[in-house]
Structure formats: C-alpha cells, structure tokens
Amino acid sequence: MLVLALDTATPVVTAGLVDLPGSGPPVPLASRAYDGRKHGELLVPAVRALCAEAGRPLPSVDAIVVGAGPGPFTGLRVGIVTAAALGHALDVPVHGVCSHDGLALTAAGVGEPGAERPQAGPGNLLVVTDARRREVYWAAYDPAARRLTGPTVEPPAALAERLSELAIGTVVGDPAFAGPLGVEITGPGTPSPVGLAGVAAGALRAGRAPAPVEPLYLRRPDAVEPTGRKRVTT
C-alpha cells in the first residue's frame, strides 16, 4: 500500500511517500523536510517532487495520513486542508493522527533503516513541541511508544514539576525547552513520514474508514462572538 504522509504541526514541515506492507514496519520511499514558514507555497510542489523521486505517480497513492497536531492554527490548517483536497481528488481515504504519536514512533526508530534512536533512559518517553505563547505541547509514552497521557498544553515550569510523576527517562522534540524543563532533549524534533504512517498502520491494513480529521489546537480560539450590539450613534 502506497501512503502519502504529511505533517505541518511543527516549524519543520514533513512530507513523504511510504510503502506499507501487509505486515511489518512501514518502508520509506522518499521524504522532504523544509521550513514551516513556507508550508503554503511548498507543500504541494514537495508532493510532486516526492512522486518523481520515488517513481510513483500521484494517482498511485492508496491512502493519505496527516498529522493533526497539536500545533498552531495556521500550520495545521495548511496540512489538513491539503490532505483533504488530495484525498478528494484521488478518491482515497485520509487518516488524521496525533503528530506527537508519530514523533514518538519516529524516536523509537520504527521502520527507519539505520535510524539513530535516542539514548533511552530508565523510564517513559516525553514528546515536547513549541506551543508558542511561552507554552509547550507535550504527551507522555511508555518505552514502546504507546501514549500514556496527553497531548496537552501548559507552561514549561508546570510540566517540569510533573516529570518525576510521569517517570520520564527520555525527552524528544524541540531542544529549545531543554533549559526551561531542566532536561536533555535528544532525538528527532518532528515526526517522520514512517512514524506518521506507523500510527495509522492498523487502520490502513484493516481497511477501516477514517473519521473526519479534527485538528488538535488544544486552545480556545482567540476570536469570540460579540455579546451585544455596538452603538453607531451618540
């Protein structure tokens, strides 16, 4: 099964083609990673370049997997809308997955030939990404990359107080939070196409119809409905 995997939840946009066999881990065919500030201009051209590199025409894609966050509003919309448009045009299913789940599998080196796995600590795995506004998105996983709690958003200081409670041994994600959290952050900072496809592998192999993709913003919108009419006369 040929899977197109996309993620725009972090400052680095990821796109890739993955071969998902009937059993065993996904196999990477081609991938691209680039500056997330240009996701709107570069995402679709990147998909075309992937197909050319892998020698697989776009209509041969069997399914699309897209990271649904957590992430910033604009970035998530670009990835999810692009995935939905391609899915509609190609008449293939679009599966939304938690981007942190994909990053956790990426950190575990799932299906990545020669992937460098972060030095595992004695406890669980913590994934952290930038939520802006001096906050962090995070989720905790067991050593097999199965999610234990999260994702959620809060200030780094609040998360730092919970590290011992969460029994964290390894932290991956955005290295900018090493200081605020008082920990070493190793491994990948973004989910790989193989990691994203791995999250949806069970549903894809079973042929399950995907649920509508719901972005994980984890915050209430800044815009609110007005509570009353404004006077336009004095």
pLDDT tens sequence across 125-175: 999 999 998 999 999 999 889 999 999 999 999 999 999 999 999 999 999
Residue 226 lies in a domain: no
Q: Rounded to 5 degrees, what are φ and ψ at 158?
A: -70, -40
Number of domains in the chain: 2
**Contact in structure between 27 and 193 (CB atoms under 8 Å):** no
- Strand 124-132 with 135-141, pairing: antiparallel
Q: For residue 153, give the H/E element and its range.
A: strand 147-154
Residue 218 lies in a domain: no
Per-chain mean pLDDT for the chain: 89
Fill in the DSSP letter of residue 209. Answer: P
The pTM score is 0.89
pLDDT band for position 223 (cuts 50, 70, 90)? very low
Domain limits for position 31: 2-102+190-206
Quick one: angle between helices 39-54 and 73-90, nearest 10?
Answer: 40
Residue 121 lies in a domain: yes
Residues 121, 29 share a domain: no
Residues 150, 195 share a domain: no
Residue 225 lies in a domain: no
Residues 59, 15 share a domain: yes
- Strand 94-97 with 63-67, pairing: parallel
Residue 147 lies in a domain: yes
CATH of the domain at 159: 3.30.420.200
